[in-house]
Structure 1
Amino acid sequence: MRVEARLFDITTGFFFLAAVVYGVWSREPAGTVGLILTGGLSLIIGSYFHFVARRVARRPEDNPEAEISDGAGEVGFFSAGSYWPVTIAASGGLAALSLAFMQIWLLVVALICILGAVAGLVFEYHTRPNATD
Structure 2
Amino acid sequence: MKNEAFLFGGVAAFFFVTAGIYAGWSREPAGTAALIVAFVMASVISFFFTMNYRRRGSRPEDNSASEIVERSGPLDFFPARSAYPPFTAVGAAVTALGIVFGIWLFLIGFGILFTGVGGMVFQYVHRGE
TM-score (norm 2): 0.58
Partner of 1:26: 26
Structure 2 residue runs of 5 or longer lacking an equivalent are 100-105
Q: Equivalent residue for 2:3?
A: 3
Whether the aligned pair in 2 keeps the contact of 1:12 and 1:42 (CA below 8 Å) is: yes
Question: What is the percentage of aligned positions where both structures have the same residue?
Answer: 33
Quick one: structure 1 residues 23 and 53, their matched pair in 2 at CA, closer, same or farther if it must change by over 3 Å?
A: same
Report the equivalent of 2:12: 12
Q: How many equivalent residue pairs?
A: 105
C-alpha contact (below 8 Å) 1:18/1:35 kept by paired residues: yes
Cross-structure match for 1:74: 72
User: 1:2-58: per-residue Cα shift (whole Å, max 9, x none)?
Assistant: 111111101100111110111112111110011001101111111111111111142
Q: Deviations over 1:70-107 (max 9, x none)?
A: 2335267697x9959x95xx69xx6xxx8xxxxxxx8x
Larger Rg: 2
Tell me the equivalent position of 2:48.
48
Counterparts of 2:15 and 2:124 in 1: how far apart (Å)?
A: 43
Q: TM (normalized to structure 1)? A: 0.57
Let me know the Cα RMSD of the aligned residues: 3.8
Contact 1:16 1:36 in 2 (8 A): yes
Q: Is the 8 A contact 1:11 1:42 kept in 2?
A: yes
Structure 1 residue runs of 5 or longer lacking an equivalent are 99-105
Report if aligned partners of 1:3, 1:61 keep a CA contact under 8 Å in 2: no
